[in-house]
Chain A
Amino acid sequence: MTGFDHIGLLYRDEDEYAAGCAAFLRQALAAEEPAMVAVPGGNGELIRARLGSDAHRVVFRDMSVAGRNPGRIIPSVLLAFLREHAGRRVWIIGEPIWDGRSEIEYPACAQHEALINAVFAGEEAAILCPYDVARLNPEAVADAHRTHPVMQDATGVWDSPAYTDPIETAAAFDVPLPAPPPAAAAYRFEGLRALPALRAFLTREALAAGLGGRRLSEMLIAVNELATNTGEYTDGTGTVTVWTEHGTLVCQIDDGGRIADPLAGRVPPPDHATHGRGLLIAHEFADLVRIHRHSRGTSIRLHFALSPEREPAVRRRTAR
């Protein structure tokens, strides 16, 4: 095989899961090409058990950690593996959508799946994305057919008739964000000069909400980068709104800017580039990034888990 393959694997149970994933990986191992498994929680154990003594030839990452923020998966999981093995075809199992992804996370997950096609076009890579048809919302399974050019299940492989332009599909998941709570603290800033005071505001709000230490520092970096973009690329004014919601601190930045590049934040700019890293850094440090483009500009919402040690709700399954 050559070029890029992006396959949605529909599975109904652990056996179909392990069989489909192991068959994919055995192709990589037979060709002596690099392979990685990035799946949530205990799913990796199912694959390890099925691979047996070959499992050590595959890199395993826990997607519920590495890909907790779906917007981080392309740059820091998928592209990172591709670049680590430059010049070789890479094989990756990526499972970004599981039963337990919240309603606020889901559109970002689906956008991620769509944008993989745009980012990896022309690369030497095969990416298999398992979908648990027994547990996932039927709409998520239907969406998998829109974001994967090829589908597979226990009975066969077929071209997905629902697959369309990935940029348009990703744009279709740019849905309005639920309104912030009326009591949320809002801070209006103007110009780069306002950055220190903005960070002081964020620090006060975060500490009051229970976000401190290193996570506070990382939140400040993420929001500061986005506010720097506001200062540099828009009329310079923006508003940051902060509240807590479902165990996360939420920081939303609104400005009059437009993000022209649909892949902004997904692909690291060249080393020498001085711009284009704001969203990439927001994806790196936040646990979830939601972006909504609208007639008045752009809203970017960052979520930071208030107790990072708490794992997202991922079912644990053991190999039989």
Chain B
Amino acid sequence: MFAPSPPDMAGPGRDVWVAAAQSPDFVELRRRQLRFLLPATAGFMAWFFCFIALTAWAPELLGAKVLGDLTLVLVLAVGQFVSTFAITLAYVRYAGRRLDPLADRVRERLEGGRP
């Protein structure tokens, strides 16, 4: 069993962590995090498994030549690399602009003792 809820520490009846979790800044941070991660994950997973499924079930299609002897399967395989690089860059940019400043604010408030 878990311990009973912790005694009041930093405010009237609320744990500092719970207070922080319910603060508008943190709620917004969580919202922004999921707003990027969920679609991005759905996107790269769908694109990835689409590639795998095509390889398995449509080898003739992927064996088609695109340029010289270059086949579609190789283009798509390298495409997975390109998309992964692009998503990484997008995440770094997004996190730096939209997540980190908020996270810093919540953290500094907590560590500074201001609930």
Same complex:
no
Interface positions of A (Cβ within 8 A of B): none
Interface positions of B (Cβ within 8 A of A): none
